[in-house]
Structure 1
Amino acid sequence: MMSKFEQGMYQGAANYQALTPLSLLERARDVYADQIAVIDGERRFTWKQYTERCFQLARALIHAGVKKEDTVSFFVTNRPAMLEAQFGVPLSGGVINTLNIRLDVNTVAYILQHSESKIIVVEDQFIELIREAVKLSEREIQIIQVLDDAAKADLRAAEIDYETFIAQAPELIEVHFPENEMNAIALSYTSGTTGKPKGVIYHHRGAYLNALGTVIYTGFNQVARPVYLWTLPVFHCNGWCHVWALTAVGGTHVCLRKVVAEDIYTLIQEHGVTHFSGAPAVLATLAENKPEHWQQPDREITVCCAGAPPPFSVLKQTEKLGFKVLHVYGMTEQHSVNTVCEHQPDWKTLSEDERLHKMCRQGVITTVGGRLKVADHQTGEPVPKDGMTMGEIMFQGNLGMKGYLKNPEATTEAFASDWYHSGDLAVWHADGYIEIKDRLKDIIISGGENISSIEVEEALLTHPAVHEVAVVAVPDEKWGEVPCAIVQLHPEYIQTTREELFAHSKKILAGYKTPKHIFFEDVERTSTGKLQKFKLRQHVIELLSGN
């Protein structure tokens, strides 16, 4: 029998609209029309101008033959075209695929082929790589170049420059809004730490909700006019949904094409930057290259930091610069950020080290995230909130991807038992905050005991000589596996010995957790800053065997 609350009720356009970040753009144009939306060197675009350029791009793509859910790829640094793409491509009905500009030509070719890209927009400095990648993909893909200097353009037949492309867009073409909020809006490829990259499909619902969640956890709405410096690559998880979030509050984008400490400090002072984001390496770069006459800003600058927690020494230096570090956690498969380490008032009463340790945890679910648990990988049963028992982080709610493109097996595995399985191992503290201890596949099992490689890395990082470190498991006849550390030293501590680091780790760790082997060499990461531990493991095994 139909409920009284359902009888005679109406559902239609007057009271229901598919959630999408695209709905934020026209409001920003109307409310913040003459305020500055984008700063790129000497160029400025108001919200009215930026919105029009986004619509021009959408109409130009439709005119060029882009149809619903066609893939449009971008191989561009943090510049206006990349910001316009976040709205322009989905308004055309297409799906935006932002590629990591540090990828090699074969990986780019694979992504273009796998995603069935129809158009690629490329910054002119990368044109030769993209031409070769398109050739290797064996697809007919239109190339559009974003030029630094039109007078020096290298445009071949069938190629066109970006400004000409959007300028010639017919005005009467209608743009497209999604009929279903679960329609695809973006395609982001994982970094491929265990094999070929997988294509993660974002939906309009998740993008919209995470944009609003970002406004809340960053405090974009707590300042009169947020000014966001793009130290974070826009290609990474669509800039953590920050392009859409900043549109919700009419903030200002400050473009930065390359992370250079001097440029960051200059732009902060010139434009009154209130927020930026990045990996711990960005904080370390800023701490190491503080200008001689730098003065703390009147208002703390909020820095969202993701990835491995920065060393305490870097955090201390960062705070002295006038930056408030907010540790966040997420992944491509969750529309980027899904947890945030919310600062609590009583942390101010703790000792400095105790407070910093709490700040380095991955925190709690964001306002829009849904549900989180730390659970036994096999049974799905939540682990005790004792800060000691490890389990896998799992999510259920609004921010999960649609799935992996053309990979139903991996999609099914990721969403087993109606929870998204992160593959990250963490402990759950009594206050509900989670703290990552390792990747499920990277845990070291030595003599039947589980050892967190992250715990060993954090112990070694407390030594002043250690700049970077990666710990992996290597075979051992007696214990099965033992920890092995690859250590990159600070240049001024190049004389540090293995014996010193062995002795240091023994002061901090239980005996069975201390590394049994240490190698001194640079710690190699992927183009997105991730450790490929399966490669490191094979490398040190070869070193130990003398090969």
Structure 2
Amino acid sequence: MEGSMRCSANYVPLSPLSFLERAAVVYADRAAVVYGSTVYTWSQTRDRCLRLASALTSLGISRGDVVAVLAANIPAMYELHFGVSMTGAVLCTLNTRHDAAMVSILLKHSEAKVIFVDSHLLGIGQGALKILLESNVKPPLLVIVGESYNSVAAIRGPIASANMEYETLLRTASPCFEIKWPIDECDPISLNYTSGTTSRPKGVIYSHRGAYLNAIATILINDITTMPVYLWTVPMFHCNGWCLAWGMAAQGGTNICLRNVTARAIFDSIALHKVTHMGGAPAVLNMIVNSPITERKPLPGKVGVMTGAAPPPPQVMFKLEELGFNVTHAYGLTETYGPATVCTWKPEWDALLPEERAKMKARQGLNHIGIEEIDIKDPITMKSVPADGQTIGEVMFRGNTVMNGYYKDLSATKETMAGGWFRSGDLAVRHPDGYIKIKDRSKDIIISGGENISTIEVESVLFSHPAVLEAAVVGRPDHHWGETPCAFVKLKEGASVAAEDIIKFCRSRLPHYMAPKTVVFEDLPKTSTGKTQKFVLREKAKAMGSLSKKGGSKL
């Protein structure tokens, strides 16, 4: 329009680094990071991040370089989210449950120049670097993050001579560092590897713009007002803590770092610090509702808890709210910066019975403000499925908080964004009120005798059994039906129930073809984000062999 112009006065590339700059002034003396007896204010946190950026620059890190970190939810992990970006570099947070071999693969693929390793995970970190050396690949510089300098100084290993220590780097670095702001707001800020990482890694590229927008969207969907107290039960390496590693700075929040997530630690932290918000996969929620009475403490007030990573069983959500937690159900993927949808509460649900309200809130809802649109489409025709709550299609997104792409894999990027939509691989239905509900991953759906069986629906029934603590369902080969549901179940402590009773329980609540034909009692393999590793269970079910034509199980 005539008279308008774009210049530095009215346009600045969006970046979550601006959150820290503001927080250091507005909330200067307020606690920013708390870890045991260690407390840093927002002013101190900015100072430490600037020193970190200065130290990285002295190590040769410059714009576009990758800096990796393998660490639990500790202060350094939080500071790296800002300090690395201040240099123009890209932060790569690694899954703390990976072994040395997988870490070496990701370091090689990312071409990280520096890796920060939590001293508790040093064996994995040094093992990964040793593998790279033996493969004639130049390893990144190692910086050890210890609980104290003395404990780090005593560490010995194959690369001990190259050891640097985090706090020493910060103490000797200058706080007078000029932040290298993004040239373009679509410049990369972080690199996140998907949880299903194999020997062919999929590194998801986040931009400053996307991180900024998703941090704000996540704050809004969780009703996080100014100066919250956030308990870190979500791994910060996972989608950068669902973008709240940056988001807490926007609101001047206090970050309560928690290394080991247990029910006792959660209740103790809430009581001690008067926690207002937290997050967690359904496995964390399940841990809370099934904790012994002796480990629980009264909540000082309502605690908002965002859950995601896997569809939460309605029974778990209902029990959690009985304890005083206010549950917000979000859904997303690594490729959408974490949360992309939210099941927004509707006043008319207040008239429903508690169990029915929980079922409504267990749906995935609708896109948040950072996502332009979400749809359920036929992946072949790209036509939207009817909003009848029955017709299954693939969840697809488009908007400003969809990834830039997969690192070093343009063909995979083009494939997953074919047709102008990001294809999630998740199968869902849309209800008449517009809200979506996930039925399964496309690879998890069980096709038995031509019928589609949602493993999520079967698992929801299993969770309602009074003796069941955790459950996961996969397909087992069947001579007659092709495959039938096989349930892997972990019982509550002290509980005892037969497989036949579990099957009978499910048959009384589901169509018979959906009820498990096989029940196996064992601990469920998990990722560090709380997701059940169904690929492991599918292999176990496959190894059992096909059921007879009559079906059934003698387990």
Interval of TM-score (by shorter of Structure 1 and Structure 2): over 0.9
Q: What residue number does 2:168 align with? A: 164
**Which AA in structure 1 matches 2:139?**
E
Match of 2:310 among 308, 311, 336: 308
Alpha-carbon distance between aligned partners in 2 of 1:122 and 1:502, rounded to the nearest angstrom:
46
Contact 1:210/1:241, CA 8 A, preserved across alignment: yes
C-alpha offsets along residues 128-151 of structure 1, whole Å, 9 cap, x if unaligned?
221120121222311111111212
Give secondary structure in 2 for the equivalent of 1:126: helix
| C-alpha deviation, 1:525, in angstroms | 2.2
**Structure-to-structure mapping, 1:60-209, within 5 angstroms:** 60-137=55-132, 138-152=137-151, 153-154=153-154, 156-192=160-196, 196-209=200-213
**Which AA in structure 1 matches 2:327?**
V
| C-alpha deviation, 1:248, in angstroms | 0.8
Alpha-carbon distance between aligned partners in 2 of 1:537 and 1:289, rounded to the nearest angstrom:
29
| C-alpha deviation, 1:515, in angstroms | 2.1
Contact 2:271/2:298, CA 8 A, preserved across alignment: no
Q: What residue number does 1:539 align with? A: 540
Give secondary structure in 1 for the equivalent of 2:181: coil
Contact 1:105/1:130, CA 8 A, preserved across alignment: yes
Q: Which moved more, 1:263-272 or 1:98-107?
A: 263-272
Change (3 A) 1:298 1:469: closer
Change (3 A) 1:298 1:263: closer
Alpha-carbon distance between aligned partners in 2 of 1:345 and 1:405, rounded to the nearest angstrom:
43
Alpha-carbon distance between aligned partners in 2 of 1:308 and 1:111, rounded to the nearest angstrom:
24
Q: Which moved more, 1:264-273 or 1:178-187?
A: 264-273
C-alpha offsets along residues 409-460 of structure 1, whole Å, 9 cap, x if unaligned?
2111111111001111111111111111101112122222211121122222
Q: What residue number does 2:47 align with? A: 52
Q: What residue number does 1:330 align with? A: 332
Alpha-carbon distance between aligned partners in 2 of 1:154 and 1:333, rounded to the nearest angstrom:
40
| C-alpha deviation, 1:293, in angstroms | 9.1
| C-alpha deviation, 1:251, in angstroms | 1.0
Q: Which moved more, 1:244-253 or 1:476-485?
A: 476-485
| C-alpha deviation, 1:328, in angstroms | 0.9
Give secondary structure in 2 for the equivalent of 1:59: helix
Q: What residue number does 1:518 align with? A: 519
Q: What residue number does 2:551 align with? A: none
Alpha-carbon distance between aligned partners in 1 of 2:438 and 2:326, rounded to the nearest angstrom:
21
Alpha-carbon distance between aligned partners in 1 of 2:536 and 2:221, rounded to the nearest angstrom:
36
| C-alpha deviation, 1:200, in angstroms | 0.7
Q: Which moved more, 1:139-148 or 1:115-124?
A: 139-148
| C-alpha deviation, 1:292, in angstroms | 4.4
C-alpha offsets along residues 309-359 of structure 1, whole Å, 9 cap, x if unaligned?
433443333222211011111111001100111111111100111111001
C-alpha offsets along residues 240-271 of structure 1, whole Å, 9 cap, x if unaligned?
11021111111111111110222221211111
**Which AA in structure 2 matches 1:233?**
P
Structure 2, unaligned runs of 5 or more: 548-555
Contact 1:295/1:321, CA 8 A, preserved across alignment: no
Q: What residue number does 2:416 align with? A: 414
Change (3 A) 1:63 1:466: same
Q: Which moved more, 1:510-519 or 1:396-405?
A: 510-519
Give secondary structure in 2 for the equivalent of 1:250: coil
Match of 1:216 among 220, 228, 231: 220
| C-alpha deviation, 1:189, in angstroms | 0.7
Alpha-carbon distance between aligned partners in 2 of 1:140 and 1:533, rounded to the nearest angstrom:
33
Q: What residue number does 2:373 align with? A: 371
Match of 2:250 among 248, 251, 262: 248
Give secondary structure in 2 for the equivalent of 1:339: strand
Alpha-carbon distance between aligned partners in 1 of 2:473 and 2:423, rounded to the nearest angstrom:
23
Contact 1:193/1:532, CA 8 A, preserved across alignment: no
Give secondary structure in 2 for the equivalent of 1:117: coil
Alpha-carbon distance between aligned partners in 2 of 1:519 and 1:390, rounded to the nearest angstrom:
29
C-alpha offsets along residues 439-498 of structure 1, whole Å, 9 cap, x if unaligned?
11121222222111211222222222222222222332322222222222223233x222
> RMSD over aligned Cα, in angstroms?
1.8
Contact 1:105/1:129, CA 8 A, preserved across alignment: yes
Q: Which moved more, 1:209-218 or 1:170-179?
A: 170-179
**Which AA in structure 1 matches 2:14?**
L
| C-alpha deviation, 1:535, in angstroms | 3.1
Contact 2:235/2:529, CA 8 A, preserved across alignment: no
Give secondary structure in 2 for the equivalent of 1:485: strand
**Structure-to-structure mapping, 1:20-59, within 5 angstroms:** 20-59=15-54
**Which AA in structure 1 matches 2:413?**
T
Alpha-carbon distance between aligned partners in 2 of 1:527 and 1:15, rounded to the nearest angstrom:
42
Per the normalisation by structure 1, the TM-score is 0.94
**Structure-to-structure mapping, 1:266-277, within 5 angstroms:** 266-277=268-279
Contact 2:231/2:275, CA 8 A, preserved across alignment: yes
Alpha-carbon distance between aligned partners in 2 of 1:387 and 1:227, rounded to the nearest angstrom:
38
| C-alpha deviation, 1:386, in angstroms | 1.0
Contact 2:488/2:521, CA 8 A, preserved across alignment: yes
Give the aligned length: 538
**Which AA in structure 2 matches 1:504?**
F
Q: Which moved more, 1:170-179 or 1:38-47?
A: 170-179
| C-alpha deviation, 1:195, in angstroms | 6.0
Give secondary structure in 1 for the equivalent of 2:506: helix
Change (3 A) 1:513 1:288: closer
Q: Which moved more, 1:478-487 or 1:129-138?
A: 478-487
C-alpha offsets along residues 496-533 of structure 1, whole Å, 9 cap, x if unaligned?
22221221111111122222222232222233332333
Alpha-carbon distance between aligned partners in 2 of 1:257 and 1:293, rounded to the nearest angstrom:
18
Alpha-carbon distance between aligned partners in 1 of 2:145 and 2:12, rounded to the nearest angstrom:
35
Change (3 A) 1:291 1:534: closer
Give secondary structure in 1 for the equivalent of 2:328: strand
Alpha-carbon distance between aligned partners in 2 of 1:326 and 1:129, rounded to the nearest angstrom:
35
In the alignment, structure 1 residue 499 sits paired with structure 2 residue 500: yes
Give secondary structure in 2 for the equivalent of 1:493: coil
What fraction of aligned residue pairs are identical, expressed as a percent? 45
Match of 1:289 among 288, 291, 313: 291
Alpha-carbon distance between aligned partners in 1 of 2:535 and 2:35, rounded to the nearest angstrom:
40
Give secondary structure in 2 for the equivalent of 1:157: helix
| C-alpha deviation, 1:299, in angstroms | 3.1
Alpha-carbon distance between aligned partners in 2 of 1:510 and 1:205, rounded to the nearest angstrom:
47
Give secondary structure in 2 for the equivalent of 1:163: helix
**Which AA in structure 2 matches 1:211?**
A
Contact 1:63/1:170, CA 8 A, preserved across alignment: no
